Amino acid sequence: MRWTSYLQLASTIAATVAQASTLTPPVIPLIVRNPYLSAWLGHARENPWEHWPIFWTGQEIGFSVLASVPRSNTVYPLLGRPQDSLRKTGESFNVSYPTFLGATFDASTTNLTYHIPSPFESQDSLEVVLSFLSPITPTSTFRQSIPAAYLTVHVTGGFDLDVYLDINGLWVSGDRANTIGWTFSQSEPPKGSKQSPLKVWKVKRVVEQLFTEWADRSEWGQLHFTGPAEVNYQAGTSAILRTAFSRSGTLSNNVDGNFRGIMDEEPVFAFAYSFKLKPTSNSTSAAGGKTYASALFTIAHVQDPVIQFASARGLTAMRPLWASYYPNADVLLEYHYHDFQKAFNLASNYSDQLAIDALQSGSEDYKDILALSARQVLGAASFSGTPDNPIIFFKEISSDGNMNTIDVIYPSFPFFLYTNPRWLAYMLEPLIEHMLSGQYPNDYAMHDLGSSFPNATGHPDGRDEYMPVEECGNMLIMGLALVNALKYDTQPASIWSGQGRHKVAQFIEGAFPLFVDSDGMDDTVGGPVEAKGEKQARKWVEKSYRLWKQWTGYLVRETLIPSNQLSTDDFAGWLANQTNLALKGIIGIKAMSEIAEVVGETEDATYYRKISENYIKRWEEEFAISRDGTHAKLAYSWYGSWTILYNLFADSLLCFHIPSSSSSIPNNWKDQKPITLPDQQVLKTGFVSDKVYKLQSDWYHSVRQKYGLPLDSRHLYTKSDWEFFAVSVASKKVREEIVDSIALWVNETTTDKPLTDLYDTEGTGGFPGIEFKARPVVGGHFAFLALERACDGKAVAALDFLNEEEKVEVYEEEMMHNEEL
């Protein structure tokens, strides 16, 4: 028996478990790396052995864990429903149930903690933690690209324990009738290496179908299930293997060679590990005579190629990004297994910083909402391309399966600004390349890169979903946000952007090449050093300036009074003269004026700036605001209507609302007191006036429902991403009360799929008919963190006028309290 080499990890995990999550969502991520490696704990408010884990669609997948105490004749299900395979009578063992202490999670990790009773009256129960790690590593794009995750079984106690794990073929196909094949192998570590050999199951369809999905699961690719050298193994019928383990606490090291259908005498692929915890002279004990030990397993789903893409050079089978660094999956996954501690540390660094930032800007509830959202965002991403030109392909999960949908990238992009702006560039690049190549015929930005993931084949007929103002505005806003993230002065958009070695690409075609050092770490992103950020931004904009100008021209013609069309909220239907949509387009024109400045196109910059200033004045004074001046209307001519004005977020994010758009703002401007003006006078300090911010903030307070802020006056449903966009530019009091409402919804909603972004704000907080689930748009929950770091930290400070009234109210309450004393 190898006493754990992860003792330091054990204490780390124990500390993590102690920090209980404040929220109880209905579903929690377990292993979430990309659209096809996606396992979740459904019914997460119940015991983990009462239901099978689920794929993001809500369909079950085979993943079970059992524990057995030697010589106790008792077996305990921990995950899945393996007990259904075990006979209730006539066996040498009994099925019992542990005490489940609950699930905790951070941005990368989910821990399930159990107590198993001791067979001896004199001993305490044993603690088992199943720790699932899908590491988010913003300083290591290479590691983020690896389609694999970790499961550590962590035990603490004074008596021995045997643990069994198995998976089935539903990880490699959505069709239960498909025939699968499998192999078992043991790796050979490099000569001279101190690494132990690994034991690996490989499972795939016998006849694969490249670039094909069935029920959103891939029909090509191979599952790798890896365990340490000490495990016993077996492949065979699920009931036979589970029964054998329950009787003996081990497996026979045999492989059933009868390839068959996924549910035809259901073949499973199992490992068994024995933890020798009885104190001995060789063991390492903690306080109270208890011993720590752990065993590490990994699960990977490997595809090569990953996507077919209508690139500038034609239809191309795109290889995974990791293939530029490792010759094959076996070598990659052996590296991945032994890289656990480094990946764990990088992921913990991200999770810890995220928790700090969320707590400082919000609350415990906000911290947990972001932790719950992070893996879900990246669960839509597939890393491809080469180090010279990395690409992220992004699936519009659950709503319609499109590729790199612009209005799905847009709500998710606060996550990428906060975490790694480079990854935002990698998502936009294939869209820009495709449109630059002339394969898209319309003069506005395309809706998506292809109707059905993983086929990024474009829309050569131009008949993609019709959202022209929406997508042009989205591209221009994200384009300038990315430029600003590169050109930061003192504070980067992402705290991790400045970490790593400084490299300046001189002769590489791609604007965002990926330099990786010998430890798999990225170079810096943008920044002031040697004007690297300025050079990257200019190079990127120059390459596609024709497109930016073309999209802006469309907005100049069409955005002030939008025709009947869809916005990103297409489920709400077509509508003419949408107030919020027009605002997005106008901000897009303003963004282009600054994009033009980046490449020295001063005439264009002046022209677009004047147009945008004229349009925003007319939008505010003629079209947008209700007759009583209390809120923005849903549509110009729809009197009595109202809407969440979530596109106001872009005005602040792009630094249009700080006192000056130049970088010469006095350092002491935040300390200056606002000038007191008569009630009817409004000091316009930015592009969109303070008045609009103030009236919308007040309106959100007045229309808030039990579970949040309805999307508009037509329905009681809402979109959580837009709620966070909206309240990020509202007063602190309004933001706090709406975040509280959203947290209440997370705890009480009857939705039963991975975190939805579309839900009813009243009733049971359920689905409003449409079932959105596991969508990456929850990256919008990071809106306030992205805003806090925008404009060298000035963006949020420029909104402090929204809190002045609240400060006065607090002051008056304190004065009254003092007088009473």
Q: Where are the domains of the chain?
A: 7-343, 387-809
Backbone angles phi, psi at 357, to 5 degrees: -65, -40
Question: What's residue 524's pLDDT?
Answer: 84
pLDDT (average), residues 212-227: 98
Question: What's residue 278's pLDDT?
Answer: 78
Upstream peptide bond of 305 is cis (omega within 30 degrees of 0): yes
Question: What's residue 533's pLDDT?
Answer: 82
Following DSSP, what letter does each residue of 671-716 receive, concatenated? GSPPPP--TT-----SSS-HHHHHHHHHHHHHH-BTTB--SBTT-S
pLDDT at 797 over 70: yes
CATH architecture, domain 387-809: Alpha/alpha barrel (1.50)
Comparing CA positions, the residue from 520, 500, 213 lying closest to residue 382 is 213
Torsion sign, CA atoms 427, 429, 434, 435: positive
pLDDT (average), residues 70-82: 96
pLDDT digits (tens, 9 = 90+) for 405-442: 999 999 999 999 999 999 999 999 999 999 999 999 99
Please state which CATH class domain 7-343 belongs to.
mainly beta
pLDDT digits (tens, 9 = 90+) for 521-561: 998 887 665 577 888 899 999 999 999 999 999 999 999 99
State which amino acid sits at residue 621: E
Q: What percent of the chain has pLDDT over 90?
A: 82
Comparing CA positions, the residue from 148, 150, 164 lying closest to residue 268 is 164
User: What are the DSSP E strand ranges found in 134-266?
Assistant: 148-157, 161-168, 179-186, 199-205, 213-214, 217-218, 222-227, 232-237, 254-255, 260-261
Question: What's residue 667's pLDDT?
Answer: 36
Q: What percent of the chain has pLDDT over 70?
A: 89
The residue with greater pLDDT, 793 or 144, is 144
pLDDT digits (tens, 9 = 90+) for 683-718: 456 899 999 999 999 999 999 999 999 999 999 999
What is the C-alpha to C-alpha distance for residues 786 and 574, in angstroms, rounded to an integer? Answer: 31
Comparing CA positions, the residue from 388, 206, 182, 376 lying closest to residue 270 is 182
Question: What's residue 14's pLDDT?
Answer: 41
Note whether 440 and 161 are within 8 A (CB): no
pLDDT digits (tens, 9 = 90+) for 735-768: 999 999 999 999 999 999 999 999 999 999 999 9
**Tokens 């404009």 -> residue:** 791
β-strands 307-311, 455-456 pairing: parallel
Total Cβ atoms within 10 A of residue 112: 25
Consecutive H or E run containing 740: helix 732-748
7-343 and 387-809 in the same fold: no
pLDDT at 505 over 70: no
Total Cβ atoms within 10 A of residue 416: 31
Question: What's residue 280's pLDDT?
Answer: 59
Note whether 762 and 750 are within 8 A (CB): no
pLDDT digits (tens, 9 = 90+) for 5-53: 443 444 444 434 435 678 999 999 999 999 999 999 999 999 999 999 9
